[in-house]
Structure 1
Amino acid sequence: MGLLDRMKKRLTDRVTRRHLIGTAAAAVVAAAGIVRSVPDPPGPAAPVPAAPVPDPPVPGPAGASGGVPFDEMYRGRHLQGRPVPEPPGGPAGHDSAGWHVTVDGRRLGLMRRADGSYLSMVDHYESYATPLAATRAAVDELGPLQALSGLGH
């Protein structure tokens, strides 16, 4: 066997090994994807954690800014909120919802939805019955270390 034959054999062995390793890796990845897509067998459903009980909704029409002021500590944060009277010309602004709310002295923007519920600038995806519930949810979303910017948005 000549030098050229030995070099061809080594090159063929090397390519084959790489090809086998690559094919094996692709097979492992594909198998992992198939396993993840197979649904769990039917059985007793896992218990669903109970949702927190929301505060009762504030009575009044959707445009009313009435409600009970709050000043409390929640998860180490100081929450304050008070209704803001609407000016004679109409609502106080799109982000006030008729309330001035702060978390640790920094302003939290609230919006009131057409159905009378509230959402905060921190959590746009959930609606809450009261400004206090929306403020608590914002604190939950922020966690213990993150602070509000103090801006309305």
Structure 2
Amino acid sequence: MTATPPLSRLLPRRRTVLRALFALAVSAFTGGTLAHVATTPGAGAGRTGEPRAGGPGGGFDEMYRGRRIQGRPVPGARFDVRVDGRPLHLMRCADGGYLTPVDHYASYPTPLAAARGAVDEMGSARLALGAHHGVRP
């Protein structure tokens, strides 16, 4: 007669079950996120050509709340934005939008919208020279 193994050896261990559930959840979340990014209109705009801008020819120059904001595309799918002649650094988001050092918490769809958002947040303060990552004043 053959001896049957104890029940504890036949059932999967809790750690194995938790690992499998975790792997399933991670793969489902990753797949859902990738599907969302792939089907979002405008996702990745500016990566192969010029960045999206707010004016004709890709640049802008306007007065907004008493501040002069200017922007122009520069080589490398980047944008040079200035507020009252001082540089405003823009950072690209994964969703194709832009962040500024003035407000890291809001993503803006265009460089012009990002510049306007920075002006709104700054109020009457001036933009510091060299106020972006990796540059010392």
Q: TM-score, normalised by structure 2?
A: 0.57
Match among 109, 116, 128 for residue 89 of structure 2? 109
Residues of 1 paired with 2:42 and 2:69: CA distance? 18
Residues of 1 paired with 2:96 and 2:121: CA distance? 22
Please show how residues 38-117 of structure 1 align to structure 2 within 5 Å.
61-63=45-47, 64-67=49-52, 68-86=58-76, 98-117=78-97
1:149 pairs with 2:128: yes
Q: Tell me if structure 2 keeps the 8 A contact 1:58–1:130.
A: no
- The list of structure 1 runs, each at least 4 consecutive aligned residues, that deviate by more than 2 angstroms after superposition, is 57-62, 64-67
Q: Tell me if structure 1 keeps the 8 A contact 2:45–2:51.
A: no
CA RMSD after TM alignment = 2.2
1:125 pairs with 2:105: yes
Q: Could you say what secondary structure the match of 2:69 adopts?
A: strand
- State how many pairs are aligned: 86
Q: TM-score, normalised by structure 1?
A: 0.51
Q: Tell me if structure 2 keeps the 8 A contact 1:81–1:99.
A: yes
In structure 2, the gaps of 5 or more residues are 1-40, 53-57, 133-137
**Once the two structures are aligned, what percentage of the paired residues are identical?**
57
Kindly state the Cα deviation for residue 62 of structure 1 after the two structures are TM-superposed: 4.7
In structure 1, the gaps of 5 or more residues are 1-56, 92-97
